[in-house]
Amino acid sequence: MSDMSFALTDEQKALKAAVSDLCKQYPAQYWRDLDTRREYPDAFVNELTKAGYLAVLIPHEYGGAGLGIMEAALILEEINRSGGNAGACHAQMYIMGTVLRHGSEAQKRQYLPKLATGELRLQAFGVTEPNAGSDTTKLQTTAVRAGDRYVVNGQKMFISRVLQSDLMLLLARTTPVDQVKRKTDGLSVFLVDIRDLKGLEVRPLRMMMNHSTNALFFDNMEIPADSLIGQEGKGFSYILDGMNAERVLVASDSLGDGRWFIEKAVAYASQRVIFGKPIGANQGVQFPIARAHMAVEAADLMRTKAAKLFDAGLPCGPEANMAKFLAAEAAIEAGNACIDCHGGYGFAEEYDVERKFRESRLYRAAPINNNLIMAFVGEHVLGMPRSY
Ligand SMILES: Cc1cc2nc3c(=O)[nH]c(=O)nc-3n(C[C@H](O)[C@H](O)[C@H](O)COP(=O)(O)OP(=O)(O)OC[C@H]3O[C@@H](n4cnc5c(N)ncnc54)[C@H](O)[C@@H]3O)c2cc1C
């Protein structure tokens, strides 16, 4: 690829500035209050949608801005850098990619323009199950064809934003595992309209952070057969196709968190005077912040490389995975440095550091655990034996 410049274009700088302006209307108190009540940032997400930011990846012909993953990444990064939590809305950006790449023309025309205007929300992605976490091929939820319907039975775990979505992308087994050649065959993806859907029970879970996460129970849940995306049985590969985008975008959430921690730590360490001088003059305080800053900057380079490859239509699996890993770890390092330099105040709700720490901690474990990324790099990048 010819252009590997890491400088942002003027348009990208303007985009970041505009998102930053929007975020200023939703200050720390807004996110803190929602966190306390474990409520969804409806007003923020609605405004972001109205401004078109959640539709940047939707092509012009379906009502979106037709921009690249780099622009989407900058939007999410800026939300987290400003103190907000893009986890409330990042999924729509990568979930709708499955509809875009594998949906029929009729499905794209039916859903994408409404997602772009905000008339419909697609924030829910139902994959994880109690007995199928990292090993997606072990999914036990079944979707059985019955005339013009599929009948869904089973259970999902940790499915976020279901109560704030109109639509959910659902992965279920349509052919029993003992009847397929490879265990990755026989899984199918459905775009399910979950509004007033009979047979669906949603049980909210109180998690470490405000993430609108639920356990789902499907009891003979009937969905129209035309909810199927693409070909029956090919769902696993469709989900894999969306992984690079997901990795780059989640890495961007983490980069934003990392930058927020560094800015907050630098400001506090520079003004807090103990033993007659600012605590930031002590290397024990300063060096962890400097080290974390370097980790964030390095992760940014990998994220940007992955995004540029993605936008150029080139393979970017290793880079996207490494970006997600490095950014999540850098954010945790920055979070630790930020908590430490704040002393007791790092644990006080009103400083927001503990909230951001809880929010950023998630991305070591989800949407994919960093262990599985190391397994991917070990096996697929370095050619070592498969570990699972
Ligand atoms: C707040 C939150 C929101 C979420 N939202 C969603 C959502 O919207 N939709 C959705 O589908 N899922 C969601 N998830 C689920 C998340 O993607 C899973 O938790 C994750 O994929 C891991 O699955 P698991 O929790 O069952 O862990 P497990 O797969 O049981 O793994 C447990 C631990 O063992 C490690 N491990 C397992 N196998 C190996 C191996 N071979 N080598 C090394 N280490 C291994 C894992 O890395 C992990 O550390 C969410 C989770 C959380 C916490």
Contact between 133 and 89 under an 8 Å Cβ cutoff? The reply is: no
Measure the CA–CA gap between 183 and 186, rounded to whole angstroms.
8
For residue 2, is pLDDT > 90?
no
For every residue of 267-301, DSSP letters joined together read HHHHH-EETTEEGGGSHHHHHHHHHHHHHHHHHHH
Return d(Cα 49, Cα 59) in angstroms, integer. 15
Q: Would you state the pLDDT for residue 197?
A: 97
pLDDT score recorded for residue 164: 97
- Find the mean pLDDT for residues 146-169: 98
Find the mean pLDDT for residues 168-175: 98
Which residue CA neighbors atom 51 of ligand 1 most closely?
Answer: 158
Q: State pTM to two decimals.
A: 0.97
Q: How far apart are CA 252 and CA 363, in angstroms?
A: 11
pLDDT at residue 5, rounded to an integer:
80
Q: Which of 134, 156, 384 to mutate to test the pocket of ligand 1 (most atoms within 8 A of CB)?
A: 134
The dihedral sign for the CA sequence 373, 374, 379, 380? positive
- 127 within 8 A of 136, measured Cβ to Cβ: yes
Q: What is the mean pLDDT of residues 277-295?
A: 98
Is the CB of residue 177 below 6 angstroms from any atom belonging to ligand 1? no
| Test site for ligand 1: of 155, 158, 218, 247, most ligand atoms within 8 A of the Cβ | 158
- Reported as a single tens digit per residue, the pLDDT across 341-385 is 999 999 999 999 999 999 999 999 999 999 999 999 999 999 999
- From ligand 1's centre to the CA of 213, what distance in Å? 13
Output helix, strand, coil percentages for the chain, rounded to the nearest 5. 55, 15, 25
Å from CA of 371 to ligand 1 middle: 10
pLDDT (0 to 100) of residue 3: 60
Q: Is the pLDDT of residue 388 over 90?
A: no
Distance 62 CA to ligand 1 centre (A): 33
Are the beta carbons of 219 and 199 closer than 8 angstroms?
Answer: yes
